[in-house]
Every structure is written in C-alpha cells, then in structure tokens.
Amino acid sequence: MSYYAPRKIMLLGKIVLLACLALSVGYLAYRASEAREFTVLRTTSQHRLEVYAASLEREIEKYTYFPATLGLERDVIQLLSDKPAQHLPQQVSLHLEKLNSRAGTLSIYILNRHGKVVASSNWQQKDSFIGEDLAYRPYYRDAMDSGSGRFFGIGTTIGEPGYYLSSALAGPGGIIGVAVVKVGLEQLEKSWSGVEAPVLLEDENGIVILSSVQDWKFSAMRALDEATRREFDQTFKYNRRALLPFPGKDTRKLDNDTRIVSIPRPPNTAPQPVPETGMFMAQSQTLPGSSWRLSVFSPTAQVEQIARTQGALAAMGTVLLLICLLMANERRRRIRDRLAAREALQKAHDELERKVAERTAELSEANIRLQQEVEERTRAEQTLREAQDGLVQAGKLAIIGQLSTSIAHEINQPLAVLSVLSRNALRLQQRGEYAEVESNLERMGKMVDQMGQITGHLKTFARKSPESPSAVSLQKAIDNTLFLVEQRLKRKRVSVDLHFPEADLLVWCDPVRLEQVLLNLVSNALDAMESTGNPRLEIEASKQADRVRVHLRDHGPGLSEQAQQHLFEPFFTTKAPGVGLGLGLVISAGIVRDFGGSLAGENAPDDGAIFTLEIPASNGESHD
C-alpha cells in the first residue's frame, strides 16, 4: 500500500464527516426557521380571522331586530287574525316592499301560524312567495318553538342563497304567525375576493356557504352520509346542490384550529393573482353565538422559501467554521513540530555544554580547538534565540485569532436581532405599516452603533484605557440586555423573574460596557440551562449604602468544583471545544474592576449558579 493511501482515506473521511455535520446543522436551522415563520404567519392569520369575523357579525347583526319589529305593525297583526280584511294582504305586502327596498335586504315576508306566506315584499313579481307553504323550513319551526330562528339556505323559488332571520309574532291568543327577513351576504363575499389569503365560512353541517374562491362554495368540509344528504334534500336547505368534497387535503396538524392543507391545481388552469392552490396554513375559529366556523388559508410558500434559505446559510456557515477548525488544527500540529525541534535543539545544547566542559578540563593546552568549540556554541545559541523568537511570534498570532473569535461571540446576539428586525421591517412594509418600519430601522441603527461600541470597548479593555463613566439606569441596561436575547428566551421557553425596587437604581459606570457584562452573564446562564426541563432565570437588584448589588441566578446544574477554582482564569471554559474561548468572564471581571466594582460566582443553595455584580451607586440623572 502506498504511503499516501491512508492519508487519502483519512481526508475522504473528514470530507464525509464535514458534509454530514453541515447537512445536520442545515436541517436543524431549516426546522427552527420554519417553526419561527409559522408562528409569525399564525399571528397574521389570527388577525385576519378576527377582522373577517367582525365584518360578518356586523353584517348580520344590523338586521337581527328586523323580524321582531314587524310584530309592532297593527296591519300585520290584523292580517294574521282569523278574519282579516280583504285589502290587508296587498297593503301589508306594499309596506314590506318599501321596507325591503330601504333596508337593502333580499326579501321580507309574513307566514301565518300554519306556515303559509300571506304577505311578501316580492308580491308583484313572477316568483312571488305569496301562497307558498314553507312550514317545512327550519327557520319557521325554530320561530314557532323558541320565538326566533336563524338559517342559511338557498331559496326554493329562485335558488338565491341567503341568511334567514325569523321571529314569532304574538297575538292576543298566543303565536299567530312568523316574520322572516332574508339577508344577502354577496356584498361581504365580494369584499373577500380581493384579500391576499382565501377565506371561507362553513355552517354547522360543514358546508361552505361563503368563500372568496367561488369554486369552493357549497363544497363539503367533511364526509356526508346518505341519511344527511336525504335530510338536506327534504328541507331544501341547499336546494339539492351536489355538495362536492372540499378539494383540500390536510397534510399536517399544528393544533386543534390550525393545520397545513394541500390544494391541488386543476388541470388546464392558469395561476390566479391570489393563490388558490398549493400549500396553505388553514386557521379556523368558531363564530360567537353560533356553530359556524370561519377559516383563513394563508399561503406557506414564503415560509418554505425562508426556511430553505436559512437552512442553506446555516449549512454553508457550518462548512466554513469546520474548515477554520481544520486549519487551526493544522496550525497546532505545526506548533507541536516546532516545539519538538526546540526540544531537540535544547538537547544538542546540553550535549555541547557537556563537551565544552570536558574539553576545557582535559585539553587546557588546545586553545585553538577550544576557541572553535566556543564559536560553535555561540552559533548554536544564536539558532536557539531565533527559534524562540519564532515561537513568540506564533503565540501572538494565536492570541490574535482567539480575540477575533471572542469579538465575534460578543456581537453575535446583535447580529441576530438585526436579522429579526430586518425581516419584520420587510413584512411591515408589505402591509403598509410604515410607522412600525421606521421604528424597526431606528432600532437597527442603534444595534449597529452598539456593535461598534462593543468592539471599541473590547479594544479599550485590552489596552486598559480608562472610560468616561456616567449615571446609568440599571433597569434600562437589564431591559436592553433581555431584548438582545429575547428570541433565544422565547425559543428555549425560559421564564425570567425580575425583582427590582420601586425607585430606579442608578449606577456609576459606562452604559455600553455594563450591558456587555450583563449580556455575557445572561448568555452563560442560558448555556447552563440548555438541557434543563423547566429553565428559569432570576435577576434581583438592591441598593446597599453607596453600592448597587445585582444577583443573576440560573436554575441549571451549577458550577463544578473545577469550574469554581478556575472561574476567572483566561482560556478556561466548560463548553465544548470550538464553542467558547473562556475569555467572557475574564473580560467581564476586568470591566467591572474598571468601574470600581466586583464580580463573583458561586453555587445556589438548592440548584443552579449565582453571579453577584457590585457597582458603585450614583445619585445623578439617568443616562439615556
């Protein structure tokens, strides 16, 4: 076997491992981004549901009083008596015709106690209801039984769908008839046709009675047995429509009212301006006071696109990170070879010393040869000094790389916030909410300034240069810190308990460097609670004499004995290799010392760790 064969196999194994890790990270990022975008889409869909439900309820409620008011008409009561005057049917019908025209309803008619129409607003039309027996209609039976009724159906005379509102009319001897108002909902349905997400309304039988997509209208959201279909035919509820199944198919259930639905595109159909086919997140809610369900179908194509993009970016980032780690490993190997060469050189130096001592004692007369040996020793020492200078330079390069990684770690959270705010600004702009877009852009500018301040202050701390302290609001600094990790808190479902006195606490320090310390402590606490089932973070602040004390406690596994011994030593870390350099607490402790305060860490009595931060108090005005 060739010498290079094992190296080729090892290289191929590293490439395969790199690809597997990149794909795994990309898949996890895809899933996380998909879940986050689904949450945003669900919030938007819920808002649409509330708007549509309110518009539907307003459209119906403005007519609910109509049928009952007809019982106040003296002519209507006399028409329903046992011996009405001959002119009353025409007179009442004429009144109903005028009332129907002014109210904008489809029709208004009066039924006697037997269910026969005795007066109607369409009395002069060919399809007049007068004389029809409508005792089989549910709205008549409900009004006779309970005093009022509501019913959606298709008219048996002209086949026009509408919403029927009925009310029993009482006379001296009890119920003498029923007043019915038929309301059209086409205007509301037309207003839905231009929305960006399809919407439909299904009745108590699961039949779509209103929809922004006309092909969905009068389709069945659930399977109908033969007995149910026969009942519909007998009551003419849907005027014997075919009631085909709804074209969508549930592919995934998110909760009781939210699901992912796939709607195939019919053959030979062109794409619509408002998506009617594809993948949707269907969110439903039952309308108050009824068994009707309103559903909004929000397209998920953008969610899928964003999730794929995030997954691809995460995979590429992982590849770059692993390549950097491989390069760092190669560099460590070279340094190890240099150390071995130094050790060999040291052994040669020792051997030279021994030989020089022997020859000096034995050959005092050989001055020439001794001088040669001294020169050889001088050359060896010069070579050693050159090797030592190279090692010092390599150490400097290693420290520069570690500090660069530390700076990248410190600005990682603001970059994540910038990503979230930029995506929110895009969606808010699409919805026309420009005030919110301006607010997000201002916060993004502040984040960019903050990242510049963080890197500048890290450089300042490295040079031990003094900062200009001022009066800073501790509560505001903690609020800013929690805002930076807000998405991480939500993703990990971490509960935060804040305990502050009523009066605002002011401390004497630099505000940006204080937030840097708080961010490092909070991030370490979240890392410690990574595998905790019920993560909880407690932050308590109090003032004692001229100092302010802050206790930050996590409910993780606590600090090990080794961690407590080396807690504030450089390059000591309990995290996995490549995750951290162990410089966060060292830098934080140095910043706090510059403030004239102190930073300490210990285990809590029951579980978790507590970090105590003491800062000089200030009596001046808060820094903004």
Measured over the CA atoms of residue 457, residue 459, residue 464 and residue 465, the dihedral's sign is: negative
Give residue-wise pLDDT tens across range 441-490.
Answer: 888 887 787 776 556 544 544 444 455 788 999 999 999 888 878 878 88
Beta-strand runs (E) in 417-510 = 470-473, 495-499, 506-509
Please give the pLDDT value at position 434. 82
For 538-585, give the DSSP string: EEEEEEETTEEEEEEEE-SS---HHHHHTTTSTT---SPTTT--S-HH
Cβ–Cβ under 8 Å, residues 471 and 618? yes
Which residue pairs from 200-204 have beta carbons closer than 8 angstroms and sit at least 24 positions apart in sequence? 200/294, 200/295, 200/297, 201/56, 201/292, 201/293, 201/294, 201/295, 202/292, 202/293, 202/295, 203/152, 203/291, 203/292, 204/290, 204/291, 204/292
Tokens representing 402? 């570690």
pLDDT tens, 502-544? 888 999 998 888 888 898 899 888 988 888 888 999 999 998 8
Nearest to 520 by CA among 603, 410, 600: 410
User: What pLDDT was estimated at residue 453?
Assistant: 59
- What CATH topology corresponds to 187-266+273-299? Beta-Lactamase (3.30.450)
Q: What is the pLDDT, as a whole number, of residue 462?
A: 46
**Dist. CA 306–CA 429, nearest whole Å:** 17
Encoded tokens for 592:
């706090």
- What's the CATH number for 466-616? 3.30.565.10
What pTM, to 2 d.p., does this model score? Answer: 0.43
pLDDT for 464 equals 44
Domain spanning 66-184: CATH superfamily: PAS domain (3.30.450.20)
What pLDDT is recorded for position 267? 65
Give the chain's residues under pLDDT 50. Answer: 3, 384-385, 387-403, 405-406, 457-458, 460-465, 623
| Cβ(183)–Cβ(152) below 8 Å | no
Residues linked to residue 293 through DSSP beta bridges, in sequence order: 202, 286
Q: Using CA atoms, how far apart are residues 181 and 72, in angstroms rounded to an integer?
A: 15
